[in-house]
Amino acid sequence: MAELRAGGAPDTLSIEFAELDLESTQSVDAFVAWLIAEHGTVDVLVNNAGVDFGQYYPEGDSRNEGGRSHADGGAPTMRTNFTQTALLTDTLLRSAMNTEDGRIVFVASEAGTYGFAAQPRDVQERVETASREELDALAAEWVKATQEEELQPPTFGTSAGINGYPYAVSKMLLIRYSALTTAFSRAAARSVAIELTEPCSCTRFKSCR
């Protein structure tokens, strides 16, 4: 707080912390209820959740993250990065978002763009035209496939026809969801600004610029 005030923040500024576990729908509901009770509206929502629990390469490979197999890690990665993030955003848009000059920021990843590029054209078309419900269906379809099959590098493809490891696929769906949120806000004549950023980890994606 001292650093913030030294930078010009008013003395009245305060910071509160609240527990939110995006993997848990119960936690999301409890957080939203607390937020509305304490503050009424939300001016800025930054969706910055990003985890990768999967282990997709041979044992001992330094590219493995999280220590879980794809079967165990795919579902919580998808829930945290996309499904529950979208649920939280939907809930706040309906009940608490400042509709006059609110702002929602989606922190996706360039992995999502790479994930989209890796898809067969029919899957790309499904993603590009997916409704909110169809995005959830795609996520569920992909998670089910990863729980039943081995993902094989380099495409990490499954019989569901969707290529990619959990982090890339989840961020690909989040990017599409951000577009749907923008369309919803405009159709509802709300002045909620929607922003999307795609940071890049150049240690993984060598072609980043």
Nearest CA among 209, 170, 175, 169 for reference residue 195: 175
Q: What is the per-residue pLDDT across 15-52, written as a single tens digit (0 to 9) for each?
A: 888 999 988 899 999 999 999 999 998 999 999 988 87
Structure-model confidence comparison of residues 92 and 208, the more confident one: 92
CA-CA distance, 172 to 92, in Å (whole number)?
22
pLDDT at residue 155 is higher than 80: no
pLDDT at residue 57 is higher than 80: no
Query: What's the pTM value of the predicted model, to 2 decimals?
Result: 0.82
What pLDDT, on the 0 to 100 scale, is given for residue 202?
46
Peptide bond into 199 cis (omega under 30): no
CA-CA distance, 54 to 70, in Å (whole number)?
5
**How many separate helices (H) and strands (E) can be counted in the chain?**
8, 3
Residues 6+ apart with CB under 8 A from 57: 63, 64, 153
The b-or-e profile of 21-59 (16+ CB within 10 A means b, else e) is: ebeeeeebeebbeebeeeeeebeebebebbbbbbbbeee
Is residue 30 within 8 A of residue 91, CB to CB? The reply is no
Q: Give all domains of the chain, ordered by start, each with its CATH number.
A: 44-197 (3.40.50.720)
Mean pLDDT of 101-115: 90
94: pLDDT confidence band, cut at 50, 70 and 90?
A: confident
